[in-house]
Structure 1
């Protein structure tokens, strides 16, 4: 059973993993059976990281109650998401409660080496705390992250790696952790020989997405992060990537992604205050992971993701047909189910819903339903954040009321020959779908019923 290891580096890595987890839950087609996320971020209190970890834990809690075989047609929560490291996070040794000069042991250096360090690193660099990331300084990150391979966590990853497994790396190019972590990690994976299964890892298919600037930070003289330097850092990093990654064939597929419309966020160096709203770019970056998982890349290829129509607001109509076919049906099915259980839970959990008869006793009051409804709350929050961000990703109408098929932005639902409409039509399709379910167990049957019912409705109402 092939696995895809996804290394999410820094805050951007966690935010992209958040979008990817939503796609997994909705059943977007993934070309491997098992996903293994690994986050690399010294800022363990980063709110972007903790939010993503909580989301992945919710996904795993729901998946653990399900059993999938050929008879169960549901794609919701189908892929296994495996945790091989505590909190999914590869710990960076010897950074807790230390400044950078303590990390490199500057006081013990001789006069010549001290002078060299002071040439290479500013006083601000040397006094930077290591436990909230590298704050836009890849020169610091490249030193600290160079010792990842010596950690027990990296050995745990290497021990779990098997033949035909694949690796994907997410990083930004304009910060500190991502810009330094990506080339170092890639070099380690390709040439390292001090860890288990290094022969398999050295020759594995590896893809990556590097994300160019897509937001700015408010100016703050007290902060070490200055977004006015993002472009110059990006240019330098791109030149390095071209000469040291793309040309030497060390990667199979390298995806690039950027946006020239940038929102401005509060300037938080890290910690619990760093929680950015979900963004179109992170959503698109997650589709790069999907693309990589579904294809083979025997030779190095560079890819840029494009949209058909680039406006201030992006909808399904902005995607090329391949992307639209990949995303439209699963994401639409998922929001139809979310709206049923959020807006009409009292009905669907009652005896008035015929499909409940002899099928779902005690399901609605249990932990599984609580986790599932919690996931739908997170899904709708995620969609709302992207809708209200700049540039806006406006896929769905999030306030449909009693008109559930007015849900897809820019698409008028088709009229179909039926005595029923709106939620009554959904109820009818679910009552029919439950009779076709072949899976065993309440939880499996419940999700399969919604999967089959909403799949039929997507075809009827949206011609997808």
Structure 2
């Protein structure tokens, strides 16, 4: 069973993994059978990271409660998301409670080496704490992250790697952790020999997305991060990538993504205060993972992710046809199920709902249902964050009330010949779907029922 290892580097990597996990939940077509996320971020308390870890744990709990058979067509939560590292995070040796000066053991160096290090790194650099990331300093990150291959966690990843597995790397190009981590990780994967299965890994299919500046930070004289330097750092890094990654064909597919409409966020160097709203750019970056996973890449190719129509409010009609085909049905079907569970749960968990006859005994008060409702609530939260961000990703009407088919932004649902409408029609399709379910266990049958009903409704109301 082929696996896709997804390395998410820094805060951007964690945020893209959040969007990717939502796509997995909705059943977006992902080529790999099993996804193995690995986060590289020394800032273990980063709220962007902890939120993504919690989401992935919820996904795994739901998936582990399901047993998909070949006859069960449901794609909701179907792909396996595996955890091989604690909190999915590759821990970096000797960064806890240390400054950069202590990490490189500056006092033990001879005078000439100390002088050289003080020329290369400012006093502020040397005093930087290693446990909150590299705060926009790739020069620091390149030294610290060079130790990745020596960690037990990297050895665990290498031990799990098998023939046919793929690797995808997410990073930003304008900060510290991502900008330094991507080229170092790629070099290790391509040329390293001091780890298990190194030949398989050296020759594996590897893709990556590098994200150019898509937000700014408020000026803060106390912070080491200055977003006015993002563009100059990006230009330098792009030149390096061209000469040391693209030209030497060390990667099979390299995606680039940016946006010139930028939000301005609070300037938090890391920790629990660093939690940014989900963003269109992160959503699009997640689609790059899907694109890579579904294709074979024989030669090095550089790819730019784009939209057919670039406005301040992006809808499904803004996507090129291939992107829209990939996303429209699964996200809409999952959204319609989410509305049922969030707004009509009292009815669908009652005896008045005919599908409950001889089905789902004890399901509605189970831990499985609690986790499912938790994730669907997080799904709405994620969509709402992207909708209110700049540039807005406005895929759905998040307040449909009793009009369940007024759900897709800018799309008028088709009229069909039926005596039923609105949630009465939804209920009718659910009652019909439960009779067609191939699953035996309540958890499986419940999700299969919703999948079959939502797919039928999507085809009736939205399919061209």
Shift of 1:428: 0.4
Report how far residue 69 of structure 1 moved.
1.8
Which contiguous aligned blocks of 4+ residues in structure 1 show a shift greater than 3 angstroms?
Answer: none
Query: What is the distance in 2 between the residues matched to 1:210 and 1:435?
Result: 47
Q: CA deviation at 1:393?
A: 0.2
Tell me the CA shift for residue 15 of structure 1: 0.0
Tell me how far apart the structure 2 counterparts of residues 63 and 440 of structure 1 sit (CA, whole Å).
16
1:114 and 2:111 correspond = no
Q: State how far apart, in whole Å, the 2-side matches of 1:2 and 1:446 are.
A: 28
Q: For the residues of structure 2 that align with 1:321 and 1:148, how far apart are their CA atoms?
A: 40
Match of 1:213 in 2: 213
SS of 2:73's partner is: coil
> Displacement, 1:440?
2.1
| Structure 2 residue aligned with 1:298 | 298
Q: Deviation at 1:123?
A: 0.7
- 1:344-355 → structure 2 map (5 Å cutoff): 344-355=344-355
Query: How far apart are the structure 1 equivalents of 2:305 and 2:114?
Result: 45
1:21 counterpart residue number = 21
Distance 1:72 1:30 in 2: 17
Matches within 5 A, 1:60-209: 60-209=60-209
Count of equivalent residues: 464
Alpha-carbon deviation of 1:461? 0.5
Partner of 1:383: 383
Superimposed CA distance per residue, residues 369-402 of structure 1 (whole angstroms, 9 cap, x where no aligned partner)? 0000000000000000000000000000000010
Give the equivalent residue in structure 2 for 1:261: 261
Question: 1: CA distance between counterparts of 2:169 and 2:181?
Answer: 10
Distance 1:13 1:117 in 2: 30
Distance in 1 of aligned mates of 2:46 and 2:21: 18
Give the match's secondary structure for 2:368.
helix
How big is each residue's C-alpha offset from its partner over 1:271-311, in whole Å with a ceiling of 9 and x where there is no partner? 00000000000000000000001000011000001101100
Give the distance between the partners of 1:124 and 1:231, measured in 2 at CA.
22
Counterpart-to-counterpart distance in 2, 1:71 and 1:312: 43
DSSP-derived class of the 1:163 partner:
coil
2:424 maps to 424
Provide the C-alpha distance between the structure 1 equivalents of 2:154 and 2:357, rounded to a whole number of angstroms: 50
Deviating more after overlay: 34-43 vs 434-443: 434-443
Q: Structure 1 regions of 5+ residues with no counterpart?
A: none
Alignment of 1:251 onto 2:246: no
RMSD: 0.5
Distance in 1 (alpha carbons) for counterparts of 2:353 and 2:208: 47
CA distance in 2 between partners of 1:403 and 1:442 (Å): 28
Q: Look up the match of 1:53.
A: 53
CA distance in 1, matches of 2:391, 2:449: 36
Task: Extract unaligned runs of 5+ from structure 2.
Answer: none
Distance 2:341 2:103 in 1: 51
Deviations 1:75-115 (A, max 9, x none): 00000000000000000110011000100000111110000
After TM superposition, give the deviation of residue 359 of structure 1 in Å. Answer: 1.3
Q: Secondary structure at the match of 2:430?
A: helix
Cα distance in 2, alignment partners of residues 152 and 463 from structure 1: 50
Residues in 2 aligned to 1:204 and 1:357: alpha-carbon distance in whole angstroms: 51
TM-score normalised according to structure 2 size? 1.00
- Work out the CA distance in 1 between the residues paired with 2:341 and 2:126: 53
Which secondary structure state, in structure 1, belongs to the residue aligned with residue 163 of structure 2?
coil
CA distances 1:190-237 after superposition (whole Å, capped 9, x unpaired):
000000000000000000000000000000000000000000000000
- CA distance in 1 between counterparts of 2:183 and 2:440 reads 47
Q: Could you tell me how far apart the structure 2 residues matched to 1:366 and 1:53 are?
A: 23
User: Is structure 2 residue 327 aligned with structure 1 residue 363?
Assistant: no
How far apart, CA to CA, are the structure 1 residues paired with 2:451 and 2:463?
16
> Shift in Å at residue 439 of structure 1?
1.5
Looking at structure 2, the residues matched to 165 and 101 of structure 1 have their Cα atoms a distance apart, in angstroms, of 39
Corresponding position of 2:457 = 457
Match of 2:397 in 1: 397
Measure the CA separation in 1 of the matches of 2:321 and 2:434.
31
